[in-house]
Amino acid sequence: MVSYTHAATLVSNPQYAVLDDALTSAAREALDADTGMRWLAAGIAADVLFAAVADADPKALADTLKQALAATPVDVIVQPLATRQKKLFLADMDSTIIGQECIDELADMVGLKPHVAAITERAMRGEIEFEPALRERVDLLKGLDVRVVDKVIDERITLNPGARTLIQTLRARGIYTMLVSGGFTLFTSRIADRTGFHENRANTLLVEDRRFSGSVHEPILGRQAKLDALVEMRGKLALQPSETMAIGDGANDLAMLDEAGLGFAYHAKPAVAAAADARIDHSDLTAVLYALGIPADEFVT
């Protein structure tokens, strides 16, 4: 009887459901090993189970399987079965849990979105330091009525597909969830409430007479603070590093993703996608649940 050590989870976008028997067979053949398989959701997600050598590189194995699947839009996440179960989940907010960058949408209210969005893009790619880039962008918001946040949230901010299902399902399984953002508490508090995160952390925009002062409370929550939040919560919950996971898309998420037992790059900037343990390029946020081996009929929707 074969003793499987690893799982390769194949996930397609639920809207297209392109995964079929031919693709799963191609993946199994590429592994050149005895394999087992189980469907997690018909046409959407499946686990290919296999025995790997002791020093197998999950990322290299995932790349091999992606090549076997050619140009098919299917994500591949490879990990050891022994450390698959998790107890802590940290997530970035902007362009990860939600589809927008909140500061760019605020800047649009003063006619500066293209300028601010360009700075945001460079910071998320790691081309400039996050903290000074945030101060520069916040300064451009000086004088903006704080009540505009309600308008932005109501009219412009949307959850990425699968966000609420992801958090509700994790919570139902006893996994602690934290939203950690280089954005602002005015947004994270609302998004955390909408999705169900246990807690949220972000930067605080300073306000004077109900208008943004152009400053942010120091120290800024950036790359180091996200890493610190993971280490802190891991200690509080008395967890092993392997019992943690995190997800993000930008350069300020890299340290957090690297420290997590399983770090997901979600439709991420190139440097982040290259560095993360797992890439979600095609599917939605429920890919995290499939990576944990949770079948679709057990999702909390």
The pLDDT of residue 53 is above 90: no
Q: 271 and 130 in one domain?
A: yes
pLDDT tens across 264-284, in order? Answer: 999 999 999 999 999 999 999
Q: Print the domain residue range for 15.
A: 1-84
Q: 58 and 145 in one domain?
A: no
Query: Phi then psi for 280, rounded to 5 degrees?
Result: -115, 100
Q: 150 and 107 in one domain?
A: yes
Confidence of residue 1 (pLDDT cuts 50, 70, 90): low
Task: Give the CATH number for residue 264.
Answer: 3.40.50.1000
pTM for this prediction: 0.96
Q: What is the DSSP letter of 147?
A: T
Average pLDDT over residues 12-40: 95
pLDDT tens across 163-193, in order? Answer: 999 999 999 999 999 999 999 999 999 999 9
Q: 146 and 70 in one domain?
A: no
Task: Give the CATH number for residue 9.
Answer: 3.30.70.260
- Is residue 231 left, alpha or beta, with left meaning phi > 0 and alpha meaning psi from -120 to 50? alpha
Q: 202 and 89 in one domain?
A: yes
Confidence (pLDDT) at 71 = 85
Exposure letters 128-158 (e unless 16+ CB within 10 A, then b): eebbebbeebbebbeebeeebbeebbeebbe
Average pLDDT over residues 136-152: 96
Query: Average pLDDT, whole number, for the chain?
Result: 96
pLDDT tens across 85-100, in order? Answer: 999 999 999 999 999 9
Name the catalytic one among 92, 249, 253, 284: 92
Q: 101 and 67 in one domain?
A: no
34 contacts: CB under 8 Å, gap ≥ 6: 2, 50, 51
Q: Is-catalytic flag, 94?
A: yes
Is the distance from CB of 103 to CB of 189 less than 8 angstroms? Answer: no
Task: Write down which residue in 57, 84, 111 finishes a domain.
Answer: 84
- Counting the structural domains of the chain, the total is 2
Q: Is-catalytic flag, 209?
A: no
Share of the chain above pLDDT 90, in %: 95
Task: Write down which residue in 53, 84, 115 finishes a domain.
Answer: 84
Q: 163 and 279 in one domain?
A: yes
Task: Write down which residue in 24, 54, 84 finishes a domain.
Answer: 84
Give the sheet arrangement for strand 244-248, strand by strand: 199-203, 176-184, 88-91, 244-248, 262-266, 278-280
Name the catalytic one among 47, 75, 94, 249: 94
Confidence (pLDDT) at 36 = 96
Which amino acid, 35? Answer: T
Average pLDDT over residues 58-81: 95
Q: 152 and 94 in one domain?
A: yes
Q: 73 and 187 in one domain?
A: no
